[in-house]
Amino acid sequence: MTDPMTPEELQACRERAEAATAGALSVAREDEEHGAITYAVVRGGLTLAFVPEDTRGKWEHSSAKADAAFWASARADVLRLLATIAARDARLEAVRSILAEAGCDCDRDHREDECDDECDHGDPCLGCRIEAAMKGANQ
């Protein structure tokens, strides 16, 4: 699994995606006279990238069509993923706020990270367990 992005990396990713030219991209197959196949990433009749297909079987994994489709959808997908992350973070923050308002039902006061195996606070309450789980979800 790839390491999660830091907030700074997420912001840089957003800036790159927003700086890219907006608008729908499409993929067009172009059959060449000599038997080659190329997939073109196209916007408004202008070809932005060519992705050649291996029609002779020289490449172990030829995925030109899938690569072109990925490139064509990357900007829109990245922006939607960033919006999904922002919405998730807002929900997590709302839960944190509710936990803070509700207080703690044990002696840990939602500071699970300050306790170790030798701690005498007893078992953590539900609020502390939720808080600990949310810290992992936001990293």
- Give the CA angle between residues 75, 78, 83 to the nearest 5°: 125
> Residue 37 forms beta bridges with which residues?
31
Query: pLDDT exceeding 90 applies to what percent of the chain?
Result: 26
- Is pLDDT above 70 for 114? no
Q: What is the pLDDT of residue 109?
A: 60
Residue spans of the domains in the chain: they are 7-89, 103-139
pLDDT tens profile 52-66: 886 666 655 568 888
Give the containing element (helix H, strand E) for 69.
Answer: helix 64-102
Give the containing element (helix H, strand E) for 47.
Answer: strand 46-52
- For 52, the token pair is 């050649």
Distance CA 137, CA 4 (A): 10
Give the count of beta carbons closer than 10 Å to the beta carbon of residue 111. 14
pLDDT tens profile 24-55: 889 988 887 777 788 889 888 888 888 888 66
Per DSSP, the chain holds a count of helices (H) and strands (E) of 3, 3
pLDDT tens profile 2-22: 898 999 999 999 999 999 888
